[in-house]
Structure formats: structure tokens, C-alpha cells
Structure 1
């Protein structure tokens, strides 16, 4: 490796080994076997969500022309470490606060779903954070996410399935807060530009996410599974149609823009995540999908030109308008549906609305505060922050048999 690239031999391998040894000991003492007879559909849904994390998000982050090895490799490393950490955090919460133990498959399924928040946050600092920073960020975020869920369940009495679906919002807010503490790359930097081949691989990852998204919304539902699947699919279909329409309308020559399609086709699935099981008519899910796609594309146009320069936040993957804004829309839709379904019981309605709005604000607050603190700590000198000149480069972390010219 050339001398001007920093070596992580003295830090990264030892950090990974330390964490793995710690997880091994904690699993030995605190995680029971939990083997039970598992329904076939439960394992199938777990497989789909696992595919989303490893293949879907891994390939969707391949749009950077010189950061492909790191996008795939670091995503896999974070998932396998983060799932172990999430299992421990979930077991501690369930055992200490609720006094119950989870069976083996349900335990790991919830851990994989929780990792969605971490993977989303990674997209905001993609190419800027080194692997040491990413691992530490993942551990802190998993603990913070479970802490936020615990507060919602203990103080607001929200069911577990609802708190788990706040992962998109938590991940987007946490990632933006962490990214705000990193130095901004130069505008229009050559290494951060997209190439047709990179866009094609990134779209492949988006298609993985699109196909498996109904399983993601389904995996935590105890009842109403058929409704959840159909509502999620129709919301995704509507957001996809809207993405193509809006992309052609907002570009200069009336042509489709691949970045618009990648961002907006998933918006419907994110928006109905909290309400797919309770929406009674598919047309409501389709309206949500259309609104989510509109919010994503217009949000990308406005935020990238107005909000980001003012706040000095560089969001590599655009997680704030791909996941954050549709999650906000989903939270508002949840409140509207509560009002519609409980209109004849006004005293109960007021309490329900305040509880869900409080949980919504709690998630944003915990994610933003812990993300800001985490980003500040990660940028201390001891963690060897990569200089801006080395952003978006695989050669900082991977061995190449040849120079990556044209990579």
C-alpha cells in the first residue's frame, strides 16, 4: 500500500476481534438456546429481510465510482457485527424490562430488522467514514435505537411492532446528525461522481429492496399479513409510477434520471411501514405511495439546493429524502388513520394521538442527539479521520493488484 494511505493494521483487526470476543462471552452467559418449532413463512420472511440487508443495501450503495469494494464489504461487516450486538441489546431489554425471552428465530429476525437503521445511517457517511468509525457508529446506534424503543414502550406503552418500524426514521436522523460532524467534500469532486456502470449495479440493489420490501413490513405483523402484503405492494407500485412521471417532468430535457428512480421507487414501502396492517382499502396505500414519491423527488430537489448548503450537511446517499421524508409522511398517515378509526371516541382519540406524536418526536430527538454526539466523538484524532482528499477511495482500505484507473 502506498505510504500516503493510512494503515489500520494496528486498530481495525483488534477492534473487530475485541468485539467478537466480547459478543462470544455475552452469548455464552446470557443468550439461551431458544429453539422452537418455527413456521415456514417466518423463516421465509427472515430470509427476505436478510437478502435486503446484504444484497439490497450493499448493491444500492455501489453508485460511487471508486468505492465499490468498500460499499459491499463494509456493509457485510457491519451487518454481521451489528446483528450480534442487536441480539444482545434486545435480550437485555426483553429480559430486564419485560421479563420475557424470545425464541431463536424471532430474536434474530428482530435483530436483522433493527440493523436497517444502521445501514441507512451508513449511507449518509458513505465514503467519508473509515471502517473503525463505521463499526463504532453501528454499536452506538444499535444501543441508542433499542434505548429509544424501550422508552417508547415503557413510558408511552407502544407495542413492540410499532417501535420496530421507527427504524427508517431513526436511521435517517442519526445518519444526518453524524454526517454533520464530518468535513464536507469539495463540490463536484471527481471521485464522488456517478458512472453508468455504477448506477446499473446500484439500481440492481434497489430492485432487490423493492422486491423484498413487502416481507420487511410483514415480518413483524402478528395478524393482518395478507393486508400488509397487498398494501405494501400497491404503495410500491404507485410510488414507482410516480417516480417515472415526476422524473420526466423535473429534468431539463424530459428524460428519466436514474437517481430519481432509485430514490423514489422505495418511498411507498417506507411510507406504509407503520400503517400497512391497518389500511383497509388499497387505494389509500396507493395515495400514500404517490405522495411519498412526490415528497422524495421534490425533497431531493429542494434539500440538496437549499437546506444542505445552509446546514453544511453532506448526505452521500440521500437518506434524508429516500427514507427520512417518507417515514415522516408515514408517521403523519398513522395519526390521520387513528383519527379516522377512533372519531366516535374523542377522549381516547386525544390520548392516542398524543402518544403517537410523542413517540415520533422521541425517535427524532434521541436519534439526532445521539447521532450528533457520536459524530463528534468519531471525528476525534484518535480514530484517524480520513482527510477530505481521501474520501470515496477504495485504495485507502483495499489491496489492488493494479491501479484503479477507470474504476
Structure 2
């Protein structure tokens, strides 16, 4: 045990310091003159996005019996490093393609939104990775997510802000691909379980996400921001009601199950994100939210019992059916709504459909391929793999003065 602590102390702090020093040097060369940039609506949007990724996901992932410190603490660490990395990557891409310099607040907001992909991916490998692996995964994923976005923008002519809507899709499937390269936990380990108190804490994170998802989906929308807010709220409301109904109908004792409410109530907000600004009637958003909740709950049964054991994927937080499947539904719904709306009025409808389908396929392909490669890299010896016996264990990283008291 002591050798593990010594390796941890001699590697992780220096990696963090090295990255921060590198970021400071690179920011010195990055042109970010914000002396004359006024505060605007992006500041409110930035605050709300921070509520989502820091408070929302920070508590959302706090459900494991012995991994609460790490779930919350490592989430803040990766966000603090990842936002800086994202701003630098976007600045480098802007310089590479000679784009006009963008205001700092929009850059920060996009960087915070991009971190949603990393936090979702973290949920798939929660408890199985050490801080060094999480830091490396954060940097790699931010780079590849930005590359995926710019491939959509350049080759498929997807609008800049619309390219950010793939954040849930990319994060979920990148995380699943990384998770496939890690050993499954012991089947009867009690550490891979929750407690009523931790379920309540995790539900608090769900409530944060539920409240701020309308702002999250509309933060980068320019023309129809109010419509995006309304549609997201209606979709969330429908998915929440459906989650309660299906929870009772699918449990053996006919009672509500917290795990269903924990995940499915958010599915509508994830699914409607693709078309939030273009849906013209609230009932369409409500149907989409209902279907997303159905997919999230029924998908949890099918995936956990059928698909995951065959593919040997252990999805700790259930990001596949909480974010992945609803995002797939949202991408498909966007194409269907596009066809219905412009069936007889747009001569270039076929091209638009191929563009949307191509963006979806490109995003999920890049996520799976780069996630698989990242998982292989994280399993190399220099990154000090956590043994299966130390999965989901706070005491491996955090100091506990009380040690055995109530733990």
C-alpha cells in the first residue's frame, strides 16, 4: 500500500504543476485582450453552465458508498484544468484557420460547455481511474472533441454554435469506449453500491441539472434563445412525469425507484438539445421528452442485462442510457423534424439531411475510435493503473482522520 501512495505523491502533483505551467506559458502567447470587452448575456450563461458542470455533475456523481470525496473533488480538478485547455485549443484552431479573435466570455462559455463531454465520460469510468488518468483523459478528450467539432464545421458546414450540441453524444460514447479497456469490478464488491444518504446527494445534482438545463441548451443560441428555453423546459417536464410513471410500472413491488428518477428525468433535456431552437410547438418537445424518458428507463434494463455483459463494458454511472441514447434520439428527431418542416419548400432538403446524418455519424465515430485509443493509453504502466481491489476507494487518495468511524 505504501508504494502506491508514494507513486501517487511523486507523480500526480508534478503532472498538475507541469500542465498549469504549460498553460500559463501558452496563454502568454494567446491573444486574449479583454480590457475593453463589456459584460453581456454570456456572463449569465457562463454562470449557469458552471452550475451544471460543477454543482450539477459534482453531486450527480456522488452516489458510490466510498467514493464521494473523489467524485466531487476530481470533478472540480478536471474542470479547472479542462477549461484552460479548451480555451487554448480553440485559440490554436482559430489561429490555424485565421478566424477573427473572439471575445473572452464566449470562449469561456464554449470551454465550459465542452467540459460537459469530459464530465459525462468520467461518469462511465468513475471509481476505476486515478487522478493522473483522469487528467490525461481530460486533455485528450478536449482536443479530440474540438477536432470533431471543426471537422463538422469545415467538411459538413455545420454552424459553429450547432456543433456544440453533440457534446452529450461525444461524451457518452467516448467514455464507454474508454471504459471498455478497464477491468470490470468484482461482482460482489459492496464498494460499487450506494446508500440512501448518497442517493439523496446524487438526486440533488440531478435537480441542479434539471433546473439549469434550459439555460445550458440555450446559452449558445443566438436567434431563438427563448424558444430553446421553453422547449427544453417542456421536454424536461414530460420526461420527469414519464420517469415516475415507468418507475412504478417496471419495478417488481410497484414502488418508485430512485435510480430511475435519477437518470430518466434528464433525458428529455438531453434529447431536445439538438432541435430546441427550431421546434415551433410545445407538444413536439413534450413528445420528445416522453420518448427520451422511455428510452432511458427501458434502455437501462436492456443494456445492463444484455449488451454490457457481451461487450464487457462496465458503465458506472449509466451514462449510456442517461445521456448517450437520449442524444441519439435527439439527433434522429432533428432529422425527422427537418424533413417534415421543409418537405415541400426546400430544394436542398436532401443535402441538409445528409449533413445532419453525417455530423452525427462523424461525431460518434470519432468518439468511439479516440475513446478506445485513449483507454489503451491509460492502461500503460506509466499511468499506474488502480488495481481492481482498489476500485471505488476514497482512502487510496484522500486523508481520513476518522478512518474507520462511519466509513
Contact 1:38/1:105 (<8 A) preserved: no
Aligned to 2:320: 320
Q: Quick one: distance in 2 between partners of 1:91 and 1:5?
A: 37
Aligned to 2:66, what secondary structure does the other structure show?
coil
Structure 1 residue 95 displacement after superposition: 2.6
Q: Quick one: distance in 2 between partners of 1:76 and 1:156?
A: 34
Structure 1 residue 4 displacement after superposition: 6.5
Distance change in 2, residues 1:185/1:231 (3 Å)? same
Structure 1 residues without counterparts, runs of 5 or longer:
none
Structure 1 residue 6 displacement after superposition: 5.8
Aligned to 1:218: 218
Q: Quick one: distance in 2 between partners of 1:218 and 1:36?
A: 26
Q: Quick one: distance in 2 between partners of 1:13 and 1:5?
A: 12
Aligned to 2:29: 29
Contact 2:234/2:285 (<8 A) preserved: yes
Structure 1 residue 2 displacement after superposition: 5.5
Distance change in 2, residues 1:47/1:355 (3 Å)? same
Q: Quick one: distance in 1 between partners of 2:198 and 2:188?
A: 17
Structure 1 residue 405 displacement after superposition: 4.8
Aligned to 2:118, what secondary structure does the other structure show?
helix
Q: 23-32 or 114-123, which moves further after superposition?
A: 23-32
Aligned to 1:116: 116
Superposition CA RMSD, Å: 1.3
Q: Quick one: distance in 2 between partners of 1:111 and 1:42?
A: 12
Per-residue CA shift, 1:48-107, capped at 9, x if unaligned? 110111111001111001001001100000000000000011111223225221101111
Q: Quick one: distance in 2 between partners of 1:232 and 1:404?
A: 45
Aligned to 1:290: 290
Per-residue CA shift, 1:179-203, capped at 9, x if unaligned? 0000000123200111001100000
Aligned to 1:9, what secondary structure does the other structure show?
helix
Aligned to 1:332: 332
Aligned to 2:170: 170
What is the TM-score with the length of structure 1 in the denominator? 0.98
Distance change in 2, residues 1:128/1:405 (3 Å)? farther
Aligned to 1:274, what secondary structure does the other structure show?
coil
Q: Quick one: distance in 1 between partners of 2:35 and 2:159?
A: 24
Aligned to 2:359: 359
Structure 1 residue 275 displacement after superposition: 0.4
Aligned to 1:101: 101
Aligned to 1:165, what secondary structure does the other structure show?
helix
Per-residue CA shift, 1:350-378, capped at 9, x if unaligned? 10111110110000110000000000010
Q: 24-33 or 281-290, which moves further after superposition?
A: 24-33
Matched ranges for 1:209-358 at <5 A: 209-345=209-345, 347-358=347-358
Q: How many residues align?
A: 407
